[in-house]
Amino acid sequence: MPLVTTEQMLLRAQAGGYAVGAFNVENMEMVMAVMEAAEELKSPVIMQTTPSTVKYAGLDYFLANVRAAAQRASVPIAMHLDHGDSFALAMQALRTGYTSIMIDGSHESFEENIRLTKSVADACAPSGISVEAELGKVGGKEDDLDGGDGGYTDPMQAKEFAKKTGITSLAVAIGTAHGVYKGEPKLDLDRLSEIREVVSIPLVLHGTSGVPDETVADCVRRGICKVNYATDLRIAFTKGVTGFLKEQPDAIDPKKYNKAGKEMVKEYVKSKIKVVKSEGKA
């Protein structure tokens, strides 16, 4: 089916008490893995790329891969720009054909974040393209993204931010971080509940790789509608490839060792679809 936007996908998740997994894809095999996992479990799914990934090959390359996967699929698939770092990149993604865009102004002041975010939301509205933003700052480092020590989302600021910007979903900072955790993360779940009470649009959880599944499930129960996974997909793909090459060091066919990576990613994605409870929700 054609690519879809995330707005109605996430509103259905919000109404149904589940979340949609959003998986960062780095190559064709990871796209295939996410699509196959979603098909097998009859789940909606979001595929996404960061600015660093986009720099590697271009928005059009990644969109073409995901669009081809969507055309073969019977489940809803959206293509999302993750952590768009400028108005220019957001507009480039819009023109290229991405069906969902994140503009991340969390490193700016509250007022500048509102201004930047509203400018992107206003530009995307005529096309019906969904816009995600972030308030507070999800910490950690991944690719070119450096969130430092992070900073928590203030519930009343979140209410004002959502009202003034016109976004369709909001990423909140409750103690998660990008990249690999050094220990088990401690999330402020009460803060999440407080935000849910005053913000009506779907909420998004970033930095989820490494967060215990039971904690993610609790976040979904408290109102998270989109859950991002990135680092652990890279780890899964790399383990698959390196494991294959360890057993067959003379292998020279990329299709064979990349398939091993793809299968590892597929099983990981299937496990997270079950955690967020989107299985059978397509």
Residue numbering of the annotated binding site: 83, 104, 134, 178-179, 206-209, 228-231
Q: What is the DSSP string of the chain?
A: -----SHHHHHHHHHHT--EEEEE--SHHHHHHHHHHHHHHT--EEEEE-HHHHHHH-HHHHHHHHHHHHHH-SS-EEEEEEEE-SHHHHHHHHHHT-SEEEE--TTS-HHHHHHHHHHHHHHHGGGT-EEEEEESB-EEEETTEE-TT-BPPPHHHHHHHHHHH--SEEEE-SS-EES--SS-----HHHHHHHHHH--SPEEE---TTS-HHHHHHHHHTTEEEEEE-HHHHHHHHHHHHHHHHH-TT---HHHHHHHHHHHHHHHHHHHHHHTT-TT--
Active-site hit among 60, 82, 122, 218: 82
What whole-number distance in Å separates Cα of residue 210 and Cα of residue 138? 14
Please give the structure tokens belonging to residue 97.
């054909």
Q: Which residues are annotated as a binding site for dihydroxyacetone phosphate?
A: 179, 207-209, 228-231
The residue to which tokens 């509203």 are assigned: 118
Check if 232 is active-site: no
What whole-number distance in Å separates Cα of residue 137 and Cα of residue 172? 8
Please give the structure tokens belonging to residue 53.
């990934």
Residue type, 47: M
CA distances from 187 to 153, 176, 192 (A): 12, 7, 9
What whole-number distance in Å separates Cα of residue 241 and Cα of residue 18? 32
Active site amino acids: 82
